[in-house]
Structure 1
C-alpha cells in the first residue's frame, strides 16, 4: 500500500516565493554593505553636503551686521532660512553622489562578473533587479532623510544665534526637508537605470551627471518648449519645491507637478532597471 501525504493547499506556494524574494533582499543588502568603502562614501557625502549648507548659514550669521532692520525682517519673510537649509550647491552634490551610487551598484557587478554568478543562481532576473531597486531605494531614502534633517537642524541652529532660524513647523519647512530627502532615492534610481542600460561605470556616472545636472543648466525657462523640458527634470522639480522666494518666471508651474515629476522618474527608472535585464546577455 502507498501512503499519500497531503499538504494544505497554498502552504508551499504561499511561503516559498516570499521566502525566496526575502533571500534576494537579504543578498542585496549584504552586497550593498560588503565593501568597506560603502559606509565611507555615505559618510563623506553627508558631511560635505551638510558642510555646504552650514557654511552658507554661518556666512549669514557672521555678516548679519550688514543687514539693516528691514533686511533682517525680510530675511525670514522671503524664506532665506529655508534656502540655507539646503542650498543649490548641496542639492546638486547630493543628486550627483546619489546618481553615482545607483549606477555603481549595478555596474560594479557587471565589471567584476558577479552578475553572472547571481543570474546563474537566480535565473529570475527581474526578481533580482526588483530586490536591488527596493534595497537601494530604502537605503537612499534613509540616507537622504538623515542628511536633509541634519542639515535643517544645524543650519537653523546657526541662524538662531541671530534670531533668524525657523522651526520645522514654519510654512514650507517640512516641504524643503522632504523634497531634499527624496532627491537622493530618485537620483539613485536614475543612476541605477542608466547603469543597467549602459553596463559601464564611467559611462553610467557620466550619463547621470548629464541627466541630473547638465540638462537643467542647458535648458532655459525663458521659452515655452524648453521650460516644459526643464519642468520634467528631477533637479528642477527639487528647485521648485525648495525655493520659497516665489520669484516671477515666464512659465510657472505647481508644486503638485514637481511631486509628480519625482514619482514618474522614480517609477520609470525602476521599471527600466527591472525590465532591461530580461532579454539581454549577461
Structure 2
C-alpha cells in the first residue's frame, strides 16, 4: 500500500478515535484520577510534615529519592494502566463486537495496513496523553513538596526516568490491550484478560526463586516498578537493571503489534 493510501487510513482511524462523544471524557477522567492520586499523596506529605528537625529530615527525604517516587504513585499507575488497557482493547474489539470491522476490511482488504494504522494512531495518542499526565503530575507534586523544601527538579537523579516510565506506561498498556483485543475480539473479555496479565500476574511470582523472579521481571508493571525504584529500596535476591526494564517495555509493545498483525491476517472476519 502506498504512503498516500496509508495516510488516508491514519486519518480514518483518527476520526474513529474521536467519533465517540465519550472519548474526551474517558481521557479527562483518567487523567484527573491519576493526577489526583499523585497530588493527594504529595499533599499528605506536606500536611503531615514534622517541623521538628525539618532540616535533617528534608535532606534525608531528598537523598533517599522519595520525591521522585511521589511523581507517580502505585494507585495512580493501576488506574492509568487499567484505563489505557481498556481504551486499547475497545479500539479493536469494539469494532468486532459491532461488526464494523467487516465494513472496514471490505473497503480496505489490506488488513495488516488497517491494523498498523489503528496501532499507530492509538500509540501516538497514548504517548502524548501519557506525557501530559506524567508532566502535570511531576510539576504539581514537586510544587507541593517544594512548600516543605523537598521538591526536586527534572534533572534530579531518577526524576526524568520516572516521568518517562510513567508516560510510556500509557502506550505500552494500550498496545497490549489492542493485541489482546485482536485475539479475543470481545471488549469485556479482552479487558478482563488484560487485567490478569498486567495487574494480577505480578502477584503470582516472587523474588525468592530465580525462575519466578525472571518471570516477574518480564511483566510490564514490574518493569514500571523497577524504573520507579528509589535508592533505599531493600535489596532483592535476584536484582535487575533499569535497562532490562526498558527492554521489557519495548518487548511487550512490539510483541503486541506482531500478535495483532498476525492474528488479523490469518483469521477470518
Into which bin does the TM-score normalised by the smaller protein fall? over 0.9
Shift of 1:199: 0.4
Matched, 1:215 2:201: yes
Q: Deviations over 1:149-192 (max 9, x none)?
A: 00000000001110010000111110000010001100001100
Q: What is the root-mean-square deviation of aligned Cα atoms in Å?
A: 1.1
How many pairs does the alignment contain?
267
Give 1:39-188 correspondences, 5 Å limit: 39-65=24-50, 68-69=53-54, 70-188=56-174
Q: 247, 251, 259: which is aligned to 1:260?
A: 247
Q: Deviations over 1:216-235 (max 9, x none)?
A: 12211121111000000011
**Partners of 1:162 and 1:245 in 2: CA distance:** 21
Runs of 4+ in 1 over 4 A off after TM superposition: none
Correspondence for 1:193? 179
**Partners of 1:280 and 1:71 in 2: CA distance:** 60
Correspondence for 1:3? none
Q: 244, 247, 257: which is aligned to 2:230?
A: 244
Contiguous gaps of at least 5 residues in structure 1: 1-15
**SS of residue in 1 equivalent to 2:70:** helix
**SS of residue in 1 equivalent to 2:11:** helix
Q: Deviations over 1:24-83 (max 9, x none)?
A: 000000000000100100000000000000000000000112664433321111111111
**Partners of 1:164 and 1:213 in 2: CA distance:** 31
Correspondence for 1:7? none
Shift of 1:89: 1.2
State TM-score, norm by structure 2: 0.97
Correspondence for 2:262? 275
Matched, 1:30 2:15: yes
Shift of 1:84: 1.0
Give 1:9-28 correspondences, 5 Å limit: 17-28=2-13
Shift of 1:246: 4.3
Structure with larger Rg: 1
**Partners of 1:53 and 1:216 in 2: CA distance:** 22
Contiguous gaps of at least 5 residues in structure 2: none
**Partners of 1:111 and 1:260 in 2: CA distance:** 33
State TM-score, norm by structure 1: 0.92
